[in-house]
Structure 1
Amino acid sequence: MPFTPPPRPARAPLQGRYCRLEPLGAAHAPALFAAFAADDGHMWDYMPNGPFDTLSAYSAWLKGAIAVDDPLQFAVVVDGVPLGTLSLLRIDPAAGSIEVGYISFSPALQRSRAATEAIYLTLKWSFEAGYRRFEWKCNALNLASRRAALRYGLSYEGVFRQATVVKGRNRDTAWFAAIDGEWPALRAAFEAWLDAGNFDNEGRQRRALSDLTAGIVGPSMAGEAASRPEPGRLGDVV
């Protein structure tokens, strides 16, 4: 059956149970700057932007970021408060390929149900829109980002050596991806993990998402993907 290119993502919100992805706008800047200020600055280690010392500096970056459609930036809003951002980027409808990246999650968002759901919402939109391939790329030194990709059920595809230069430093880029044939299993894993019944009265998970996605991740390279790089934060140009 011939492939029909999917639509490009629109500047429209994506609603979940624990968070809402809103098209990033100038009004989000004060709350995001305040949320990011709780970090010690290391969340920006692998990012091409940041850290930002002032609200005006962050607002200037945001103004430029929202002026383009690729990357298409979203604010991650929890209980009405913006706590982080992410984007859909390298959008290629003709190939059916799309990537999630520019993941900037504040300390208040990290390791939360909302953070996981934010990634799920981008996966869900992409595959339901008709994309064939969903990518995640990160600095090969960013262990946290590499582990997160595997937890989310994306398969490791290798490292592109000396792929680019970020903030004056070499970047080897680790590639991860999920394809449309894996989406039904991924959707079931995320929905099982996000279900309220998967958490006890203290909010602790009963079953880890990594256990639910273990059978989806390409087994031959999963161990290699989670080894060798230096410790880091999730934030990255992925």
Structure 2
Amino acid sequence: MSHTTNAFGQPIGLPVPGWTPRPRPERVALDGRYCRLEPLDAERHAAELYAAYAAAPDQRDWTYMAAGPFQDAAGYLAYAHKVAASADPLHYTVIDRATGRAVGTLALLRIEPVHGVIEVGWVAFSRALQRTPISTEAQYLLMKYVFDTLGYRRYEWKCDALNGPSRNTAMRLGFQYEGVFRQAIVYKGRNRDTAWFAMIDRDWPALAAAFEAWLAPDNFAADGAQQRSLAAIRAGQA
């Protein structure tokens, strides 16, 4: 049951006993098996990040981003300095533990401690990071920090409704689709209808167990191919 009834016979939301505002996320490092998340530091990370992004054969990875593409390393460095100073969005760099190099960024944003709601976004993963265990683990580490360490109730993912890869990624990671906000924003001189996805705290234990099973070394063959998909693991749990 998602509601109860008050003295007037009106349906009202379930009580949240003992609820207190949650802490704000901090500039902390988060360690995983394949990657490490570090607070974005322009001087330490920007050169490697720009090199990773510049290795792509074209600029399509920036089509649905509010920033970019960047024409040179100096332009990206200036951008990195600007966003690294922000507390919301709070940007993290993804470090490939095998190489020690920065290969992408993502951020926590629209941070609402009073309600326990937070969003992940500004996901800028280079081609070296896309479709690898590192990309999944980076998302998992941030989710785990939000739910297990900070105790938030709701974790959101939003994207341009026309961004098929982002929508597919949200579903693969276990977010539930909640609808489209029409004409939500204007970016890069064009309209964006925004697709909304979310997971909530009661979803998290099962999702976390699936991530742990997927990320386990025995889920990957010698050539790196996955043995079971994340969706298949969740279906098996169900």
TM-score normalised to structure 2 length = 0.89
Unaligned stretches of 5+ in structure 1?
218-238
**Residues 62-141 of structure 1: matches in 2 within 5 Å?**
62-79=80-97, 80-128=100-148, 129-141=150-162
Give 4+ residue runs of structure 1 displaced > 4 Å after superposition: 214-217
**Residue-pair matches, total:** 217
> Which residue matches 1:22?
38
3-state DSSP class of the match of 2:208? Answer: helix
> Which residue matches 2:19?
3
| Deviation of the 1:215 alpha carbon | 8.1
Q: Which residue type is aligned with residue 75 of structure 1?
A: T
Is 1:35 matched with 2:52?
Answer: yes
Do 1:137 and 1:176's aligned partners in 2 also have CA atoms closer than 8 Å? yes
Using the aligned pairs only, state the percent identity.
Answer: 56
Q: Which residue type is aligned with residue 159 of structure 2?
A: C
| Deviation of the 1:211 alpha carbon | 2.0
Higher relative contact order (CA 8 A, sep 6+): 1
CA distance in 2, matches of 1:213, 1:87: 26
3-state DSSP class of the match of 1:21? Answer: strand
Q: Which residue type is aligned with residue 76 of structure 1?
A: V
> Which residue matches 1:236?
none
| Deviation of the 1:214 alpha carbon | 4.8
User: Relative to structure 2, which stretch is displaced further, 98-107 or 207-216?
Assistant: 207-216
| Deviation of the 1:2 alpha carbon | 2.2
Q: Deviations over 1:139-159 (max 9, x none)?
A: 000000000000000000000
CA distance in 1, matches of 2:188, 2:171: 26
| Deviation of the 1:212 alpha carbon | 2.4
Q: Deviations over 1:161-217 (max 9, x none)?
A: 000011001000000000000110000010000000101111110100122235899
TM-score normalised to structure 1 length = 0.89
Q: Which residue type is aligned with residue 5 of structure 1?
A: P
CA distance in 1, matches of 2:110, 2:68: 21
Do 1:153 and 1:214's aligned partners in 2 also have CA atoms closer than 8 Å? no
CA distance in 1, matches of 2:74, 2:237: 43
CA distance in 1, matches of 2:93, 2:211: 21
CA distance in 1, matches of 2:31, 2:49: 19
> Which residue matches 2:225?
204
Q: Which residue type is aligned with residue 194 of structure 2?
A: T
CA distance in 1, matches of 2:212, 2:115: 28
Do 1:152 and 1:213's aligned partners in 2 also have CA atoms closer than 8 Å? no
Q: Which residue type is aligned with residue 33 of structure 1?
A: Y
> Which residue matches 1:51?
69
3-state DSSP class of the match of 1:65? Answer: helix
Larger C-alpha radius of gyration, 1 or 2? Answer: 2
CA distance in 1, matches of 2:237, 2:91: 28
Q: Which residue type is aligned with residue 64 of structure 1?
A: K
